[in-house]
Structure 1
Amino acid sequence: MGRRRRPERSPVTPLPQWLSARRVEAGPDGYDYEVKAVPAARAAKAYRCPGCDHEIQPRIAHVVVLPVEHGDIEDRRHWHTACWNNRANRGPTRRWS
Protein backbone atom coordinates (compact mmCIF):
# COMPACT_ATOMS: atom_id res chain seq x y z
CA MET A 1 0.00 0.00 0.00
CA GLY A 2 1.43 3.39 -1.01
CA ARG A 3 1.81 6.49 1.08
CA ARG A 4 -0.87 9.12 1.19
CA ARG A 5 0.07 12.54 -0.10
CA ARG A 6 -0.35 15.40 2.31
CA PRO A 7 -2.23 18.35 0.93
CA GLU A 8 -0.11 21.43 0.31
CA ARG A 9 -0.32 24.09 2.97
CA SER A 10 -1.75 27.38 1.89
CA PRO A 11 0.51 30.41 2.46
CA VAL A 12 -0.03 32.41 5.63
CA THR A 13 -2.32 35.34 4.97
CA PRO A 14 -1.62 38.55 6.88
CA LEU A 15 -4.02 39.62 9.59
CA PRO A 16 -6.14 42.68 8.90
CA GLN A 17 -4.80 45.87 10.48
CA TRP A 18 -7.86 46.25 12.73
CA LEU A 19 -7.35 42.77 14.17
CA SER A 20 -3.83 43.34 15.50
CA ALA A 21 -3.82 44.05 19.23
CA ARG A 22 -2.28 47.45 20.03
CA ARG A 23 -2.27 49.13 23.38
CA VAL A 24 -0.47 52.00 25.11
CA GLU A 25 1.27 51.28 28.41
CA ALA A 26 3.03 53.57 30.86
CA GLY A 27 6.58 52.46 31.53
CA PRO A 28 8.45 52.66 34.85
CA ASP A 29 10.58 55.42 33.32
CA GLY A 30 7.55 57.71 32.97
CA TYR A 31 7.21 57.38 29.18
CA ASP A 32 4.32 55.84 27.28
CA TYR A 33 4.92 52.89 24.95
CA GLU A 34 2.80 51.49 22.15
CA VAL A 35 2.79 47.72 22.49
CA LYS A 36 1.68 45.53 19.61
CA ALA A 37 1.27 41.76 19.92
CA VAL A 38 2.82 39.75 17.09
CA PRO A 39 1.20 36.32 16.72
CA ALA A 40 3.40 33.34 15.93
CA ALA A 41 2.02 33.05 12.41
CA ARG A 42 3.22 36.59 11.63
CA ALA A 43 6.69 36.31 13.22
CA ALA A 44 8.92 35.71 10.21
CA LYS A 45 12.39 36.86 11.33
CA ALA A 46 14.69 36.40 14.30
CA TYR A 47 15.15 39.36 16.68
CA ARG A 48 17.24 39.99 19.79
CA CYS A 49 15.16 40.66 22.93
CA PRO A 50 16.54 43.62 24.91
CA GLY A 51 15.10 42.21 28.14
CA CYS A 52 17.00 38.91 28.25
CA ASP A 53 19.44 39.32 25.33
CA HIS A 54 18.28 36.02 23.84
CA GLU A 55 17.07 35.56 20.30
CA ILE A 56 13.36 35.51 19.49
CA GLN A 57 13.13 32.77 16.91
CA PRO A 58 10.80 32.95 13.89
CA ARG A 59 7.29 31.59 14.52
CA ILE A 60 7.41 32.62 18.22
CA ALA A 61 4.74 35.05 19.44
CA HIS A 62 6.18 38.26 20.93
CA VAL A 63 5.50 42.00 21.27
CA VAL A 64 6.84 45.02 19.40
CA VAL A 65 7.35 48.10 21.57
CA LEU A 66 7.64 51.67 20.30
CA PRO A 67 8.02 54.84 22.43
CA VAL A 68 4.93 56.97 21.77
CA GLU A 69 6.18 60.56 21.92
CA HIS A 70 9.96 60.44 21.95
CA GLY A 71 10.73 57.76 19.38
CA ASP A 72 10.47 56.93 15.73
CA ILE A 73 10.30 53.67 13.80
CA GLU A 74 14.01 53.01 14.40
CA ASP A 75 13.39 52.96 18.16
CA ARG A 76 11.01 50.00 18.07
CA ARG A 77 12.15 46.84 19.81
CA HIS A 78 10.94 43.24 19.70
CA TRP A 79 10.55 41.69 23.16
CA HIS A 80 9.55 38.27 24.45
CA THR A 81 6.11 38.83 25.95
CA ALA A 82 7.24 37.58 29.38
CA CYS A 83 10.35 39.81 29.31
CA TRP A 84 8.22 42.88 28.55
CA ASN A 85 5.73 42.03 31.29
CA ASN A 86 8.52 41.51 33.86
CA ARG A 87 10.82 44.39 32.82
CA ALA A 88 10.28 46.27 36.10
CA ASN A 89 11.31 43.21 38.16
CA ARG A 90 14.76 42.72 36.67
CA GLY A 91 17.95 44.69 36.30
CA PRO A 92 19.49 45.81 33.03
CA THR A 93 20.88 43.16 30.71
CA ARG A 94 24.65 43.00 30.54
CA ARG A 95 26.26 41.88 27.31
CA TRP A 96 29.51 39.98 27.60
CA SER A 97 32.11 40.78 24.99
Structure 2
Amino acid sequence: GAGLTSLAQLLIARIVGSTSYGIYSYVLSTTSVLAYLATLGFNVSLLRFVSAYRAQERLDLAHGVIRFAFQRSLAVATLFGLAGAAYIFLSSSSHNRELE
Protein backbone atom coordinates (compact mmCIF):
# COMPACT_ATOMS: atom_id res chain seq x y z
CA GLY A 1 0.00 0.00 0.00
CA ALA A 2 2.78 2.44 0.85
CA GLY A 3 4.58 1.71 -2.41
CA LEU A 4 1.42 2.24 -4.43
CA THR A 5 0.76 5.52 -2.61
CA SER A 6 4.30 6.72 -3.35
CA LEU A 7 3.96 5.78 -6.99
CA ALA A 8 0.62 7.60 -7.21
CA GLN A 9 2.16 10.72 -5.64
CA LEU A 10 5.00 10.71 -8.17
CA LEU A 11 2.56 10.24 -11.03
CA ILE A 12 0.34 13.09 -9.82
CA ALA A 13 3.37 15.38 -9.44
CA ARG A 14 4.45 14.60 -13.01
CA ILE A 15 1.01 15.15 -14.51
CA VAL A 16 -0.07 18.37 -12.78
CA GLY A 17 3.24 20.24 -12.38
CA SER A 18 4.91 21.79 -9.38
CA THR A 19 2.48 24.62 -8.62
CA SER A 20 -0.62 22.46 -8.87
CA TYR A 21 1.05 19.68 -6.89
CA GLY A 22 1.79 22.19 -4.12
CA ILE A 23 -1.90 23.08 -3.97
CA TYR A 24 -2.80 19.37 -3.99
CA SER A 25 -0.32 18.63 -1.19
CA TYR A 26 -1.58 21.52 0.92
CA VAL A 27 -5.21 20.47 0.52
CA LEU A 28 -4.39 16.82 1.27
CA SER A 29 -2.57 17.70 4.48
CA THR A 30 -5.34 20.08 5.57
CA THR A 31 -8.04 17.48 4.99
CA SER A 32 -6.02 14.91 6.92
CA VAL A 33 -5.85 17.20 9.95
CA LEU A 34 -9.56 18.04 9.69
CA ALA A 35 -10.47 14.35 9.38
CA TYR A 36 -8.55 13.64 12.58
CA LEU A 37 -10.27 16.53 14.37
CA ALA A 38 -13.69 15.40 13.14
CA THR A 39 -13.40 12.16 15.11
CA LEU A 40 -13.69 14.30 18.28
CA GLY A 41 -11.57 11.78 20.16
CA PHE A 42 -14.17 9.06 19.82
CA ASN A 43 -11.66 6.75 18.11
CA VAL A 44 -9.88 6.45 21.46
CA SER A 45 -12.84 6.56 23.84
CA LEU A 46 -14.77 3.90 21.91
CA LEU A 47 -11.96 1.43 22.59
CA ARG A 48 -12.48 1.93 26.30
CA PHE A 49 -16.28 2.07 26.42
CA VAL A 50 -17.05 -0.77 24.01
CA SER A 51 -14.59 -3.07 25.78
CA ALA A 52 -16.07 -2.22 29.18
CA TYR A 53 -19.65 -2.67 27.99
CA ARG A 54 -18.80 -5.94 26.31
CA ALA A 55 -17.19 -7.24 29.49
CA GLN A 56 -20.36 -6.31 31.39
CA GLU A 57 -22.47 -7.89 28.62
CA ARG A 58 -24.24 -4.58 28.07
CA LEU A 59 -24.25 -4.58 24.28
CA ASP A 60 -27.18 -2.15 24.28
CA LEU A 61 -24.93 0.48 25.87
CA ALA A 62 -22.14 -0.34 23.42
CA HIS A 63 -24.54 0.10 20.53
CA GLY A 64 -25.69 3.43 21.94
CA VAL A 65 -22.21 4.85 22.43
CA ILE A 66 -21.18 3.75 18.93
CA ARG A 67 -24.28 5.40 17.43
CA PHE A 68 -23.65 8.59 19.46
CA ALA A 69 -20.02 8.76 18.32
CA PHE A 70 -20.95 8.12 14.69
CA GLN A 71 -23.66 10.79 14.63
CA ARG A 72 -21.50 13.46 16.25
CA SER A 73 -18.45 12.70 14.11
CA LEU A 74 -20.55 12.68 10.94
CA ALA A 75 -22.09 16.04 11.86
CA VAL A 76 -18.68 17.63 12.45
CA ALA A 77 -17.20 16.11 9.27
CA THR A 78 -20.18 17.39 7.27
CA LEU A 79 -19.75 20.84 8.79
CA PHE A 80 -16.04 20.83 7.88
CA GLY A 81 -16.87 19.75 4.34
CA LEU A 82 -19.49 22.44 3.85
CA ALA A 83 -17.19 25.10 5.30
CA GLY A 84 -14.37 23.99 3.01
CA ALA A 85 -16.62 23.98 -0.04
CA ALA A 86 -17.89 27.46 0.83
CA TYR A 87 -14.33 28.70 1.28
CA ILE A 88 -13.26 27.32 -2.10
CA PHE A 89 -16.36 28.71 -3.79
CA LEU A 90 -15.92 32.18 -2.32
CA SER A 91 -12.15 32.45 -2.71
CA SER A 92 -11.66 30.92 -6.15
CA SER A 93 -10.98 33.15 -9.10
CA SER A 94 -11.41 32.55 -12.80
CA HIS A 95 -7.60 32.27 -13.14
CA ASN A 96 -7.30 29.23 -10.93
CA ARG A 97 -8.53 26.27 -12.98
CA GLU A 98 -7.39 23.70 -10.37
CA LEU A 99 -10.05 24.79 -7.90
CA GLU A 100 -12.96 24.45 -10.31
* TM-score between both structures, scaled by the size of structure 1: 0.19
| Structure of higher RCO (CA pairs closer than 8 Å, 6+ residues apart) | 2
The structure that is strand-richer by fraction is: 1
Question: TM-score, structure 2 length as denominator?
Answer: 0.18
